[in-house]
Structure 1
């Protein structure tokens, strides 16, 4: 017989894995970004973002393995933190440090 709770459990597990992947992706990008890029763009410091995204990845992993509920406040906070980083901070700091021969219309 088809169980509804089994399907919902799979959906919530997939969402929790998605939260972990999103937070891990943001954390990896923050680790690779130079610290001066955060200061130049006027964002929070690199160390603060590393702490926030490390906690987000921890909560995402905890939800993915079933230690905490996928819809807990910690998992929702992890999505919000990683989302803010990926939507606001990452585009701003991505352009810093590329250097090279940049003209007004692109590289030359």
Structure 2
């Protein structure tokens, strides 16, 4: 009974790692190719290949050690590379202050 619960927890963790790797792969594939060198990161091809390998390992070779290594690569991409690439390519904010509305600033033009 205890082993069955442990296997259930491992299955849920494996699924979560797979979903995170797929999301990271999609983000890596959709980013502009020139944004990676501009952010002083490895190339787009490198990150797409690494994350595709992580997804393949999670699907085909469900060994916990390999999945954890893939999780580390995925976390590095999501925490370090993706924000840098988004900042270089102008993702996120469209510019301006946080108090700007659709027709100008809400703070009286200061």
Fold match (TM-score > 0.5)? yes
Confirm whether residue 96 of structure 1 aligns to residue 94 of structure 2.
no
**C-alpha displacement at 1:68, in angstroms?**
2.7
RMSD: 2.1
Structure with max Cα Rg? 2
Number of equivalent positions: 99
The residue number in structure 2 matching 1:81 is 73
> Cα distance 1:102–1:13, how it changes in 2: closer, same or farther (>3 A)?
same
The residue number in structure 2 matching 1:58 is 56
> Cα distance 1:50–1:101, how it changes in 2: closer, same or farther (>3 A)?
closer
Which stretches of structure 1, 4 residues or longer, exceed 4 Å deviation after superposition?
none
Aligned partners of 1:97, 1:88: CA distance in 2, in Å? 15
The residue number in structure 2 matching 1:9 is 7
Aligned partners of 2:23, 2:59: CA distance in 1, in Å? 13
**C-alpha displacement at 1:60, in angstroms?**
1.8
Q: Name stretches of at least 5 consecutive residues in structure 2 with no aligned partner.
A: 105-110
